[in-house]
Amino acid sequence: MRQPAAAAQELNDYIRAFQYSRAILTGIELDVFGAIGNGASAEEVAQRVGADARATEMLLNALAALGIIEKRNGVFLNTEVSSQQLTGEARLALMHTVHLWPRWSTLTECVRAGTAVRHEEIGERGEDWTEAFIAAMHRNALERAPVVVDSVGAAGVRRMLDIGGGSGAYSIAFAQANPELHADILDLPSVAPIAERHIARAGLSGRVKTRVGDLRRDDYGAGYDLVFISAICHMLGPEENVDMLKKSFAALNAGGRIVIQDFILEKDKTAPLIAAIFALNMLVGTERGSSYSEDEYTDWLQKTGFGEVRKIRLPGPTDLMVGRKL
Ligand SMILES: C[S@@+](CC[C@H](N)C(=O)[O-])C[C@H]1O[C@@H](n2cnc3c(N)ncnc32)[C@H](O)[C@@H]1O
How confident is the model at residue 6, as a pLDDT? 82
- Indicate whether 102 pLDDT > 80: yes
- Of the two residues 1 and 200, the one the predictor is more confident about is 200
Confidence tier at 276 by pLDDT (50, 70, 90): very high
Ligand 1 centroid vs 138 CA: distance in angstroms? 11
Confidence tier at 4 by pLDDT (50, 70, 90): confident
The pLDDT tens digits of the residues spanning 21-79 come to: 999 999 999 999 999 999 999 999 999 999 999 999 999 999 999 999 999 999 999 99
Q: Please state, in angstroms and rounded to a whole number, the distance separating the CA atoms of residues 227 and 79.
A: 42
The pLDDT tens digits of the residues spanning 155-202 come to: 999 999 999 999 999 999 999 999 999 999 999 999 999 999 999 999
What is the arithmetic mean of pLDDT over 103-115? 98
Q: Of 2-11, 166-175, 315-324, which range is least confident?
A: 2-11
CA 69, 72, 75, 77 dihedral sign is: negative
Average pLDDT in the chain: 96
Q: Please state, in angstroms and rounded to a whole number, the distance separating the CA atoms of residues 323 and 302.
A: 8
User: Which residues approach ligand 1 with their CB closer than 6 A?
Assistant: 122, 137, 141, 164-166, 186-188, 191, 214-216, 230-232
How confident is the model at residue 324, as a pLDDT? 98
The pLDDT tens digits of the residues spanning 217-271 come to: 999 999 999 999 999 999 999 999 999 999 999 999 999 999 999 999 999 999 9
- Indicate whether 1 pLDDT > 70: no
Residue nearest to atom 12 of ligand 1 (CA): 164
| CA torsion angle 265 129 194 80 (round to 10) | -80
pTM for the model stands at 0.94
Residue nearest to atom 1 of ligand 1 (CA): 231
Q: Are strands 159-163 and 224-230 parallel, antiparallel or unpaired?
A: parallel
How confident is the model at residue 125, as a pLDDT? 75
Q: Please state, in angstroms and rounded to a whole number, the distance separating the CA atoms of residues 112 and 324.
A: 40
Question: How many whole angstroms from its chain centre is CA 45?
Answer: 31
The pLDDT tens digits of the residues spanning 121-151 come to: 666 778 899 999 999 999 999 999 999 999 9
What domains are defined for the chain? 8-99 (1.10.10.10), 122-324 (3.40.50.150)
Ligand 1 centroid vs 159 CA: distance in angstroms? 19
How confident is the model at residue 5, as a pLDDT? 80
Compute the radius of gyration of the chain from its Cα atoms.
22
3-state secondary structure of 78: strand
How confident is the model at residue 241, as a pLDDT? 98
Atom of ligand 1 nearest to the CA of 138: 9
On whether the CB atoms of residues 70 and 57 are closer than 8 A, the answer is no
- Ligand 1 mutation target, pool 191, 234, 287, 291, most atoms within 8 A of CB: 191
Q: Please state, in angstroms and rounded to a whole number, the distance separating the CA atoms of residues 317 and 65.
A: 29
Ligand 1 centroid vs 171 CA: distance in angstroms? 13
- Ligand 1 mutation target, pool 232, 240, 291, most atoms within 8 A of CB: 232
- Indicate whether 2 pLDDT > 70: no
Atom of ligand 1 nearest to the CA of 130: 25
